[in-house]
Amino acid sequence: MTNRIIVAASEVRVKDHIYNGTGTNAHPSFAWETVTEVRLEDGLIMLITGNAKGPHGEFWLEADERIEVIRYPEAAVTATPQAKPKAGHGH
């Protein structure tokens, strides 16, 4: 289950998805891009989508500016099952 929520730009996390408009593709689900880096520069929040060293998108926002994101819930941490002692044959 995913959640579309509106948060302040300062609350955007890596792995959130932000909307980048339809661009050249008319299919709206392809317009959501994954945030790969969040930076604070000169008092602004810079959100980077894609590879920072290769082709990527940059979104510059005021820290308190509202933005809609899709956020996947964190995976629940499961306890590691303990190893069971081997049952030996009583020979």
pLDDT, averaged across the chain: 81
pLDDT, tens digit, 9 for 90 and up, residues 67-90? 999 998 877 666 566 666 666 666
Instruction: Domains for the chain: give ranges and CATH numbers.
Output: 3-71 (2.30.30)
Q: Which pLDDT score is estimated for 60?
A: 94
Q: Which pLDDT score is estimated for 31?
A: 78
CA dist., res. 70 & res. 32, Å (int) = 8
User: pTM for this structure?
Assistant: 0.69
HEC profile for 31-56? HEEEEEEEEEECCEEEEEEECCCCCE
Mean pLDDT over 36-63 rounds to 89
